[in-house]
A and B are shown apart, each in its own frame.
Chain A
């Protein structure tokens, strides 16, 4: 083989170099996001206020949070339904949260398959026993980096 041809082959090989891995790894960040809720002081909504003993569960499910002291929670939405009923208990007082949303399947990659994005609807309701009020801050649930709902208590 002539030198020119060898050089040509080397250039081509460099062009083709690259990994033969199938795909990237699926991490929580790129998959179906959870609903992010933060708890705020009802008299000063800019300030976060912790809930002393918060227990959270969806109807007919186990506790997702159990007597936790926190000012923010992340709860999953039901991918097979357009509505989910959550129960929030603080100091033995119950409030029920009816979350309505639209669902959209989004392709992620070969090895991760699909994820689901949600859009919160205005029918979403929260009873007001220990909770004073709530506000939807971000309608579209596409990641867990933004706060979707603020709860005032």
Chain B
């Protein structure tokens, strides 16, 4: 379990370095092109995929998942956001082994708090999401603890699947979006999530909820994303910049 988190952190740091590099590159490009550029604040839709899932899958073969993210620029600095995804994730704790599968939707908005130089389209954003997940959990095995260990351990292999589980939550997103090539964005973000409600399996609990993640103490969860996305202009209408 710990090893998996370490991998995720290493990948995220490497990715951050990568983004910084591309950012500085962008600056020099911008100066050269500056004259020909008008403020490009046009009405647009941006579609992307979360790369963190496929990267994790290379290391942890059983972690399967895909998240598609979209956002639409409503007005200056405000974006309507919707993310859709599927996850199939095993969770192996010391005395319990489960596998969660399901799909989820997150709806909300992003606010860009970064003031760009003229002609640049980078973002430092904060956002909120309402998330909803429909999933199943398979209880593969568990052991019951006895501190004396006089008779030896008890181990069970029930292979029970709990179907029709649901959960909904609120999330706070922070992150960076950098336009590395024209209309191509790389972004990295962290998410803090709070479970608002869930349908629990009888005699068991929801340990991993697709889209939400591992349910921590106080029903909290943390997540992150590295997303590559492409901006598709919808209209030529130029949104007034301030």
- A contact residues vs B (CB 8 Å cutoff): 1, 5, 9, 12-13, 15-16, 18-24, 26, 28, 31-32, 34, 58, 61, 64, 76-81, 84, 105-107, 109-116
Contacts and interface: CB of A to CB of B under 8 A. Distances in A.
Contacts of B27: none
Given A18-B220, A112-B145, A76 B172 contact: no
Contacts of B150: 58, 61, 64, 76
Contact of B151 (A79, A109, A115): A79
Nearest to B158: A105
B152 interface: yes
26 contacts: A5-B111, A16-B192, A16-B193, A18-B217, A18-B220, A20-B222, A21-B216, A24-B217, A31-B145, A31-B147, A76-B150, A76-B151, A79-B154, A105-B142, A105-B156, A106-B203, A107-B204, A111-B94, A113-B94, A113-B96, A113-B143, A113-B144, A113-B145, A114-B142, A114-B145, A116-B146
B192 A76 contact: no
B202 to A, nearest CB: 10
Nearest to A21: B217
Interface in B193-209: 193-194, 203-205, 207
The interface centre, meaning the residue of A78, A106, A113 with most chain B CB atoms within 10 A of its CB, is A113
Contacts of A61: 150-151
Given A23-B217, A78-B151, A105 B144 contact: yes
Nearest to A113: B95
Contact of A16 (B111, B194, B204): B194
B224 to A, nearest CB: 13
B137 to A, nearest CB: 12
Contact of B96 (A28, A32, A84, A110): A110
Given A84-B151, A113-B145, 14 more contacts: A16-B194, A18-B194, A20-B217, A22-B214, A31-B144, A31-B146, A58-B150, A76-B148, A78-B151, A79-B144, A110-B207, A113-B95, A113-B144, A114-B143
Nearest to A104: B203
Contacts of A64: 148, 150
A129 B151 CA distance: 26
Interface string B105-118: 00000010100000
A76 B146 contact: yes
Contacts of A13: 172
B166 to A, nearest CB: 19
